[in-house]
């Protein structure tokens, strides 16, 4: 196991980080440290991403809190290294966050960081579509995800984890509109409605975070 020593310049949070994390900025800094060191060693984060951890990863995820109401339950599908669930939990202490991740090495990293940071976050190991995961993590207000799968497949995983009229919040890139058009039929089949493309954090991160929001429609609205 090799040692990773991040560049001190990369370690400094962006000036707007305080506006997002407030008095919990120190927790966000600890998360940065965990990603930049242990996360790289364990293969959860590529070494080239370390200089971009603040803007492209941590803040990029945390600003999605703009779309979440007070005290909502949130499930992060395919959490990986904890993105976007951990930044959301740090930025919004009122949220009740569950991270769903199938790979053992990733869940070990998540549990270790959560326990060391004292965060009130639950980790569930498994795939989102598994009945046991749905039972344990289901009924949420929102299911969030980042770089997990195309929208149609994502909706089949995320929407069963939220209650009726709950929503899926999928962090996507600049091609979100094209993907939404391409995946429209699959989204409808999965029971998704009220599809929207939103931008978050325009005053915080250099490039706003693009989110596709879809609501879980009541069963009577599903097309057969």
Residue 49 predicted with pLDDT over 80? yes
Residue 9 predicted with pLDDT over 70? no
Check residue 221 and give its pLDDT.
Answer: 55
Order of strands across the sheet that contains 73-77: 121-125, 96-101, 73-77, 140-146, 162-172, 209-216, 192-200
- In this prediction, residues 207-221 reach a mean pLDDT of 90
Domain count, the chain: 1
DSSP 152: H
* Two tokens, residue 199: 């931008």
Residue-averaged pLDDT of the chain: 92
Q: Which domain holds residue 71?
A: 9-221
- In this prediction, residues 125-137 reach a mean pLDDT of 97
Check residue 198 and give its pLDDT.
Answer: 97
- In this prediction, residues 69-89 reach a mean pLDDT of 98
Is residue 63 in some structural domain?
yes
Indicate the pLDDT class of residue 8, thresholds 50, 70 and 90: low
Q: Which residues pair with 210 in a beta bridge?
A: 172, 199
Check residue 6 and give its pLDDT.
Answer: 64
Indicate the pLDDT class of residue 147, thresholds 50, 70 and 90: confident
Q: Dihedral sign, CA of 116, 121, 123, 128?
A: negative
Is residue 129 in some structural domain?
yes
Residue 182 predicted with pLDDT over 60? yes
Is residue 2 in some structural domain?
no
Residue 200 belongs to domain with CATH number: 3.40.50.150
Residue the block writes with tokens 């070990």: 108
- In this prediction, residues 195-201 reach a mean pLDDT of 96
Is residue 169 in some structural domain?
yes
Is residue 93 in some structural domain?
yes
Check residue 224 and give its pLDDT.
Answer: 44
> pTM for this one?
0.92
Is residue 57 in some structural domain?
yes
Indicate the pLDDT class of residue 11, thresholds 50, 70 and 90: confident
């Amino acid at each position: 196991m090799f040692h990773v020593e991040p560049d001190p310049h990369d370690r400094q949070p962006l000036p707007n980080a305080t506006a997002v994390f407030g008095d919990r900025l120190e927790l966000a800094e600890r998360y940065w440290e965990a990603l930049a060191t242990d996360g790289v060693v364990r293969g959860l984060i590529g070494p080239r991403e370390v200089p971009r951890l603040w803007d492209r990863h941590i803040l990029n995820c945390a600003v999605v809190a703009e779309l979440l109401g007070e005290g909502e339950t949130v499930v992060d599908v395919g959490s990986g290294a904890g993105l976007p669930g951990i930044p959301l939990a740090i930025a919004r202490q009122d949220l009740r966050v569950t991270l769903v991740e199938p790979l053992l090495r990733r869940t070990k990293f998540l549990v270790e960081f959560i326990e060391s940071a004292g965060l009130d976050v639950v980790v569930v190991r498994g795939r989102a579509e598994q009945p046991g995961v749905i039972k344990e993590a289901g009924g949420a207000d929102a299911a969030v995800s980042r770089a997990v799968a195309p929208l149609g497949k994502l909706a089949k995983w995320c929407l069963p984890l939220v209650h009726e009229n709950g929503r899926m919040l999928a962090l996507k890139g600049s091609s979100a509109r094209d993907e939404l058009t391409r995946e429209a039929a699959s989204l409808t089949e999965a029971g998704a409605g009220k599809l929207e493309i939103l931008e978050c954090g325009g005053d915080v991160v250099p490039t706003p975070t693009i989110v596709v929001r879809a609501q879980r429609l009541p069963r009577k609205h599903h097309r057969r």
